[in-house]
Amino acid sequence: MTTVHSVGRALARERERFLSSGIPPLQVRDEISSSWRRCSSWSVPPENIEPPYRPDVNPESRLLRAAGPVLDTVNERLGELGISFIVTDAEARILDRRVRERQLLRALDALNVTPGFVFAEDAVGTNGLGTAIELGRTTRIDGHEHYVEQLVQFTCVGVPIIDPVSRRPLGVLDVTCAADHDNTLVTLIAEQTARSIENRLFEQHSPQERALLEQFMSASRRSHAGIVVLSERVLMTNPQAARLLDGADQPLVWDHAARAMAGGTAAVENELPLAGGRTARARTTPVRDGGEIIGALVEIRPTAEPAPPRPARSAPPEGPPGLAGTDRALLGAYRAGRAALGERVVVVCGEAGVGKLAMAQALHREHGAAVVHDAAAIEVDGAAGWLDRLRDIVGGEPGDLVVRRLDLLSPDVVRTVSAILGTGISRGWRCSATFTCGSSWEDTALPDLDAEQLRLPPLRNRLRDIPVLVSAFAAPRRVAPEVVQLLMRLSWPGNVRELRSVVQRMLAAAPGGGNPGLAEVPPEVRRAAPRRTLTRFERAEVHAILDALAETAGNKKDAAALLGISRSTLYRKLQAAGIDLENTVF
């Protein structure tokens, strides 16, 4: 029988192996393995945590007004069990905490697990707060599943808190105790506590909003059609509707809803033209509360007959297999690499996150999978052992080889690598390598070898590829067009890797597995996406407006009143910054 201690020891060995070698762990849960790899790519220190501090916590926020009484009750009843209750916002900043057991209190205080500190995954590694936000679902982290050593003493369960009406993620409820793999009670407590907070959030909504939610839930239970319930402030869709609609279809649905609400009691049934030449049947019925029309219920079903085929388009330029994009510099690099592969070593250079390894693998793909020899392993194997392994590879049956991360090697080791790869080319190997460099770097990665050096463009220089990249990362789901337009206004210092991470976060945040819209765009991404460069004062203004809109569930009038400005001034400042939130549901 497997014991708790043996499980902990096995996890500790897997964690140490991953941290020392970078080799993907085999005996941990998939979500933990993915989290560790994200933390490694973000260069999170594995020894000590240093969470950022943002003390401007608003004690009167909707979330804290709902969570406070719940935390008081559960802490009074269960705090003596040696557990803590923590509430964060949607960016993993701790807003409130309840702890009764003194030893646990001291341990949490020592690590700054207190209000104002941010426990996002990219700041403190795998943990019940930040990782739950990344995954968008209940997340349990036991002992050595934590990325940072200082946190392995805990078991943490994080449960996302979702606004019951807007379905927008508001934060996380976390329950933490001493590390204990067998303690299943903490997961149950965390989920029940989060649901209690969501119930109080529901009670904060107006009677009209609660009535709309009840109509949505009732219609979703009794019908297999796509269901949309909407008003001036609320938009709810079930998964069937999310699959049928994309951002371009929303104005048409609004038009049907407006006609139904203006028409009084009768339902409106029409054909609804959708994007891409598709059509659907829509039945739109006013939703009433006490005789007053407060919104509309739209039932959408695809038509039986397929839409006529669209005229064929000319084929796009041939691109690297497995990679998305038609940028000229990207395609030029691919063609040059294909022509040189086998004759010379091909070195793929570029900034971190531009897709150097993916490009190298694309160059080799028609010949089969390439052997990847990662220079990061030199920290474990030592220079001599790592070079011996490279010699062994090249001494075998000729095939395809990628030497990854040449930039981690010393000049002496690079010279030896050049000699080994030169021998490999003469024996019939197809060899490539990757090298991370800045935009101003103009040197040669393998100075002792006649290599073909390719420079991949940063994402900021190929913004027109963002729509196809987003489509590839989100498939088979679709990202709303207005979201893609917003993403194209960013500079993407982390390049394609950063874009993929943002798309994955939006997919995780989309309610019911639906298609992400503006509501699922991370707040820090919305704030960084103006149409022009803003001054520091303008950025502070935009930040304050967006926070006020979130606080008032997207109500522009209430947000303006909260800020002490007119609604027209609020609109003017957002428009001046190039930010359009008309389709956002808060």
282 with 395, same domain? no
127 with 255, same domain? no
84 with 194, same domain? yes
Is 322 inside any structural domain?
no
What string of pLDDT tens digits covers the 586 residues of the chain? Answer: 344 456 678 888 889 989 988 887 878 898 999 899 889 888 899 999 999 999 888 888 989 999 999 999 999 999 888 999 999 999 999 999 999 999 999 999 999 999 999 999 989 999 999 999 999 899 999 999 999 999 999 999 999 999 887 777 899 999 999 999 888 899 999 999 999 999 999 888 777 777 888 888 888 888 888 888 877 666 777 877 777 775 545 556 666 677 666 666 667 787 776 655 677 888 888 888 777 788 888 888 887 654 445 444 444 455 677 788 888 889 999 999 999 998 999 999 999 999 999 999 999 988 888 999 999 999 889 999 999 999 999 999 999 999 999 999 999 999 999 999 999 999 999 999 999 987 667 778 888 888 899 999 999 888 888 988 999 999 999 988 778 877 887 778 889 999 999 999 999 988 888 888 878 888 888 777 654 445 546 656 766 777 677 677 777 788 888 888 877 777 777 766 555 554 343 4
Is 321 inside any structural domain?
no
Handedness of CA 273, 278, 281, 284 (dihedral sign): negative
Tell me the residue type at 21. Answer: S
Is 307 inside any structural domain?
no
Is 498 inside any structural domain?
yes
What's the half-sphere exposure (Cβ side, CA atoms, 13 Å) at 351? Answer: 17
46 with 133, same domain? yes
Tell me which of 403, 430, 456 is where a domain ends: 456
Handedness of CA 139, 142, 147, 150 (dihedral sign): positive
pLDDT of residue 316: 47
80 with 198, same domain? yes
Its domain, for residue 408, covers 328-456
198 with 212, same domain? no
Handedness of CA 326, 331, 332, 335 (dihedral sign): negative
CATH of the domain at 295: 3.30.450.20
Q: How many other C-beta atoms are found inside a 10 Å radius of the C-beta of residue 546?
A: 19
**Of 515, 476, 585, 506, nearest to 239 (Cα)?**
515
Distance from C-alpha of 297 to C-alpha of 346, rounded to nearest angstrom:
59
Query: CA torsion angle for 149, 150, 156, 162 (degrees, to 10)?
Result: -100
Distance from C-alpha of 30 to C-alpha of 36, rounded to nearest angstrom:
10
51 with 200, same domain? yes
CATH of the domain at 369: 3.40.50.300
Tell me which of 407, 423, 456 is where a domain ends: 456
Is 166 inside any structural domain?
yes
Q: How many other C-beta atoms are found inside a 10 Å radius of the C-beta of residue 584?
A: 21
Is 151 inside any structural domain?
yes
The Cα-based distances of 44 to 49, 147, 359 in angstroms read 9, 9, 26
Tokens of 362: 């694309």
**Of 351, 379, 357, nearest to 433 (Cα)?**
357
77 with 189, same domain? yes
DSSP 118: B
**Of 140, 115, 113, 116, nearest to 128 (Cα)?**
140
Query: CA torsion angle for 211, 214, 218, 219 (degrees, to 10)?
Result: 60
183 with 92, same domain? yes
338 with 440, same domain? yes
pLDDT of residue 216: 83
Distance from C-alpha of 504 to C-alpha of 122, rounded to nearest angstrom:
14
- Length, in residues, of the chain: 586
| Coil/strand/helix, residue 94 | strand
> Which parts of 205-238 fold into alpha helices (H)?
207-222
Strand order in the sheet with 400-404: 371-374, 400-404, 430-436, 346-350, 452-455
173 with 248, same domain? no
The Cα-based distances of 326 to 301, 337, 482, 509, 540 in angstroms read 36, 16, 21, 29, 37
Is 287 inside any structural domain?
yes
20 with 139, same domain? yes
Distance from C-alpha of 381 to C-alpha of 179, rounded to nearest angstrom:
32
CATH of the domain at 139: 3.30.450.40
- The domain total for the chain is 4
Is 319 inside any structural domain?
no
Distance from C-alpha of 84 to C-alpha of 108, rounded to nearest angstrom:
9
**Of 50, 53, 177, 47, nearest to 107 (Cα)?**
177
- Cβ burial of 382 (10 Å; 0-12, 13-18, 19+) is exposed
Tell me which of 456, 488, 507 is where a domain ends: 456
